[in-house]
Amino acid sequence: MDAYRIAKVAIAGCALVALALTSARGLGQGQDLTFRLLNIERRLDQLQQRVDSVERAQLNQSLGPPGRAAGPSIETVLEMQRQQLVTAEQVTLVQRQLLELRKQVDQLTAASAEPAKREPPPAEERKPKPPSRRP
């Protein structure tokens, strides 16, 4: 169940990064980041499918055939624990990649904002003052 929640959080994070990337599309690396983000989302979907299959297996095993003992075998429990650990490691890896992408998006956003700040505003031409008239 914990891996399922982590996967949900990671998917939501990917959605946020996708929204952030829409502002960075005009930049040269925007397409590359979008491609990487899509790959990460695809991998998250695969992880979600694995988590769902493990949960279904747990449910089916708990129901099991009537002639079998009520508890699962030790091998099955160990295999499920191994699968949960592998899934948790994969989710952690995807979250790290997501964090790296967020940092890159922030850097690109900051870099695109800096040139706008550096340009001085156009100076208005000053009109010469007429000489003061003294009586």
Domain locations along the chain = 2-114
Q: Is the pLDDT of residue 28 over 60?
A: no
Dihedral, CA of residue 118, residue 124, residue 128 and residue 130, to nearest 10: -130
Query: Quick count: other Cβ atoms within 10 Å of Cβ 33?
Result: 20
Q: What is the pLDDT of residues 62-118, one digit of tens each?
A: 776 655 555 678 888 899 999 999 999 999 999 999 999 999 999 999 988 887 666
Q: Is the pTM of this model over 0.85?
A: no
Give SS3 for 115: helix
Weakest-pLDDT range from 5-9, 113-117, 119-123: 119-123
